[in-house]
């Protein structure tokens, strides 16, 4: 996959750290001015970068409870934050995710901020999430990307996503879902556990890896202890484990990132992957 290789410089075992932006204006937990929110995100990005991370995703995880109808203040502030982080880490691959399922908005923010990719929810197969019904969006989203001239921005898509019920699609396996995403031109699929910090099933990774030719990313639950199970993944997106005490809402712990990247670099060397 050339697009992935060109962005990350290798096809396997990429490590992407999460920058969880403090609660944005208008959300129940917001207590900081935009300048302070931006500064905190840049500081975390810098810690990650110094500790040798391969890439970042900037996400509004503190905007609890999530909604599918966030106001313009959320997207405007995310643009300000993403632009500042991009300036702080000019060469690092950086993506955005805006909750919930604000995939078009995330693309617009990424385009305006000079980011490289987005993480999208609800790409194929509708599902019931804790914040409501998320409808499949591939057709509209990829047309929108084309229309705004953002085709250089990759779209990595969640399948069988965490914090959701999949009773509606229980007769569709995770491998079939991945194939559907590939058929609908996803740039890569993301596998998660059942909730934030819960590990994805290594067996799912094996199955999906055999079913599709696009990159397969792991989106939750990777730790220093279990990373060996996920080396075949194109990338591991890590939030909780890189935070103090391993809890997503805490600040980034550079020591944890450094230790993890140290282990990864050893494993990559022994695996001999370019």
The predicted-structure confidence for 166-219, as pLDDT tens digits, reads as follows: 888 999 999 999 999 999 999 999 999 888 888 999 999 999 999 999 999 999
The domain containing residue 197 runs over which residues? 2-272
Residues of the chain with pLDDT under 50: 273-274
Helix (H, G, I), strand (E, B) or coil at 189: strand
Retrieve residue 192's tokens. Answer: 């998660």
CA distance 12 to 20: 24
- How high is the pLDDT of residue 195? 82
Q: The CATH number of the domain where 14 resides is what? A: 3.20.20.70
Contact 206, 229 (CB under 8 A): no
Domain count along the chain: 1
The residue length of the chain stands at 274
The pLDDT score that the predictor gives to residue 274 is 47
pTM of this prediction?
0.97
> Is the Cβ–Cβ distance between 178 and 189 less than 8 Å?
yes
The pLDDT of residue 194: 81
DSSP state, residue 22: P
- The answer to whether 139 and 194 have CB atoms below 8 angstroms apart is no
Alpha carbon 191 to chain centroid, angstroms? 11
Res 272: pLDDT: 58
Residues whose CB falls within 8 Å of the CB of residue 226, separated by 6 or more in sequence, listed in order: 199
């Amino acid at each position: 996959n050339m697009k992935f290789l060109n962005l990350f410089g290798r096809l396997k075992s990429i490590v992407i750290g999460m920058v969880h932006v403090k609660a944005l204006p208008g959300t129940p937990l917001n207590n900081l001015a935009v300048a302070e929110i931006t500064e905190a995100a840049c500081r975390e990005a810098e810690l990650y970068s110094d500790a040798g991370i391969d890439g970042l995703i900037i996400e509004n995880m503190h905007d609890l409870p999530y909604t599918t109808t966030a106001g313009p203040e959320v997207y405007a502030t995310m643009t300000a934050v993403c632009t500042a982080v991009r300036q702080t880490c000019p060469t690092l691959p950086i993506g955005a995710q805006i909750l919930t399922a604000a995939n078009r908005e995330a693309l617009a923010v990424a385009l305006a901020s000079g980011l490289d990719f987005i993480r999208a929810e609800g790409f194929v197969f509708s599902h019931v999430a804790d914040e409501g019904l998320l409808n499949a969006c591939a057709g509209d989203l990829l047309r929108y990307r084309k229309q705004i001239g953002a085709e250089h921005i990759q779209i990595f898509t969640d399948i069988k996503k965490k914090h959701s019920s999949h009773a509606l699609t229980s007769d569709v396996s995770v491998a079939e879902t991945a194939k559907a995403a590939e058929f609908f031109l996803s740039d890569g699929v993301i596998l998660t556990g059942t909730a934030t910090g819960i590990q994805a099933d290594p067996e799912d990774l094996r199955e999906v890896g055999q079913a599709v030719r696009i990159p397969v990313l792991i989106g939750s639950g990777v730790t220093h202890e279990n990373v060996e199970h996920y080396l075949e993944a194109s990338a591991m997106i890590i939030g909780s484990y890189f935070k103090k005490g391993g809890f997503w809402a805490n600040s980034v712990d550079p020591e944890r990132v450094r230790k993890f990247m140290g282990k990864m670099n050893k494993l990559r060397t022994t695996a001999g992957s370019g």
